[in-house]
Amino acid sequence: MSQSSKIYACFISTIGLILGSYCTYSYVLSVMGTSGTKGIKEELLSTAVLFLLYIVCRCFPIYIRSDYAVDMSFICSLAMLLYRGPAAAAAMAFVSTPFVAVQTSMDPKKWHHIFNVPFIKTAFNAGNYTISIYLAGSVYQALGGSIGKIQLPRMLLPMIVAAFMFFLSNGVILLLLFSIMNKVPFFPQLIKILIDFLPNLAAATPLGFFIAWCMTLDGGAYLVVLFMLPLMLARYSFVLYLDVKNNYYNMVKTLSAALEAKDCYTEGHSHRVEIYSEKIARKMRLSNRSIEDIRVAALLHDIGKIGIDDSILNKPGYLTPEERSVIILHPQIGDNILKNVKLSHLTREIILHHHERYDGMGYPGHTKGDEIPLEAYIVSAADAYDAMTSDRPYCNSRPVEQAMQILNEESGRQFHPKVVEAFLQVLQEEKITAEERKAV
């Protein structure tokens, strides 16, 4: 960490420590002020249940990607906020920090906890959670939200705004650190984070409300435990689904590696085409489902070359007309190879048409314009760019700038104009040099 990032992390940690200590002290006083031994026992039971559920949710996040995880701890934080107020919710986030041990994305058997994580990182995360939930609670009360009286529709708007405030403040605090460390563009990344977390927000807010409502009933703590059991089972089922999905993706990569084993010149080619294609698709704001299909198709786009004779595939020179008539069959061969594999229709279309041209001069079907999916043009441009910037048996690699110029010149002829526009923006923004391209 740089000196400035350390100062910022220490600042957030200090604010979190002061705020967390104050909220914990305030909440302990409020519990001690509860009338009667029975009332104190019920309060402690409710707090213990939410506290334990909060720790369990923090310890078992769901990794959607290696760099993106969600957990259900916000459900418990929101429930505590609605049930006992912002001080109680912030105190729970603060006090639970030493007890949190998080599974890693790369190795589920490895855990990150307070004893093997740098103290500044633990303190910063604790400060972030504490500040964010307290700010959310303050907004909730400022908008007229009641504490302990779970009533609709009066509390609906304050609750939704408070939930959004939590994700907003959490994202802002985190992104400021990343901006200082790596000079990450702040506002584009903030918008991306908020969009990514909107489904989480939509799912977690009603659950938080329901748990808070259960807590107001007789025996509410026990109801919450019973409710969380099927919720945790649903989480387990979703993790199994992600495992199956990851295994499917690994199988696709294995097939791609099998192809590249035939041709040393194309080593890493499919992986680079996948990365370029995904960047183009995200720049064009395609749906996550389309992006997933594009990634799979990019990895498998040349799988049909398995059926091409090595003497043609690795020929150190230009192909004869007869040899070219064989090589242009590889999209159809690939489509036939994969016909019994459960792929989406769009994935199959991309693989079959990734050598078509926008002007209709491509192969195998000489289709043009909007006769084939936009996604096929994305993989086509990424494939051509990587081919131009890679060493091949018949030619040496071209400079990145020359490849970009060719993309621009062929816009509207070989390549789809909108795809070229997006791709050039990606290349210019990320300034991918030849050395960085080889490291992809």
Distance, in Å, from the CA atom of 127 to the CA atom of 218, rounded to the nearest integer, reads: 34
Q: Any idea what DSSP says for residue 366?
A: -
Q: What percent of the chain lies above the pLDDT cut of 90?
A: 40
Q: State the Cα–Cα distance between residues 357 and 368, nearest whole angstrom.
A: 6
Helices (H) and strands (E) counted in the chain, each on its own, are 18, 4
262-439, CATH topology level: Hypothetical protein af1432 (1.10.3210)
**What value does the mean pLDDT take over residues 181-189?**
74
Where is pLDDT greater, at 194 or 84?
84
Residue 381's identity, in one-letter code, is A
Q: Is the pLDDT score of 323 beyond 80?
A: yes
Q: Which two tokens stand for residue 411?
A: 């816009």
CB distance 242 to 62 below 8 Å: yes
Q: What is the pLDDT of residues 271-286, one digit of tens each?
A: 899 999 999 999 999 9
Q: What span, in angstroms and rounded, lies between the C-alpha atoms of 93 and 132? A: 10
* Side chain identity at residue 120, one-letter code: I
The yes/no answer on whether domain 3-242 falls in CATH 3.40.50.150 is no
Position 434, amino acid: A
**Mean pLDDT to the nearest integer, 400-417:** 93
pLDDT digit string, tens, across residues 332-360: 998 888 887 778 899 999 999 999 999 99
| pLDDT tens digits, one per residue of 61-107 | 776 655 556 677 889 999 999 999 999 999 999 999 888 888 765 56
The token duo for 117 is 């994580």
161 pLDDT above the threshold of 70: yes
Domain 3-242 identical in fold to domain 262-439: no
Q: Is 397 exposed, middle or buried (0-12, 13-18, 19+ CB in 10 A)?
A: middle
Q: Which CA distances in Å does 117 have to 55, 82, 132, 324, 431?
A: 17, 32, 22, 57, 34
pLDDT mean over 298-302: 90
Q: Check: pTM over 0.75? Answer yes or no.
A: no
- Residue of 288, 279, 365 lying closest to 328 (CA atoms): 365
Q: Which residues pair with 68 in a beta bridge?
A: 65
Can you read off the two tokens belonging to residue 34? Answer: 């509860």
DSSP strand E in 185-333: where? none
Percent of the chain with pLDDT over 70: 88
Query: At what angle are helices 220-260 and 288-300 packed, to 10 degrees?
Result: 30
Average pLDDT, the chain: 85
Domain boundaries, the chain: 3-242, 262-439
Structural contact between residues 135 and 88, judged by C-beta atoms closer than 8 angstroms: no
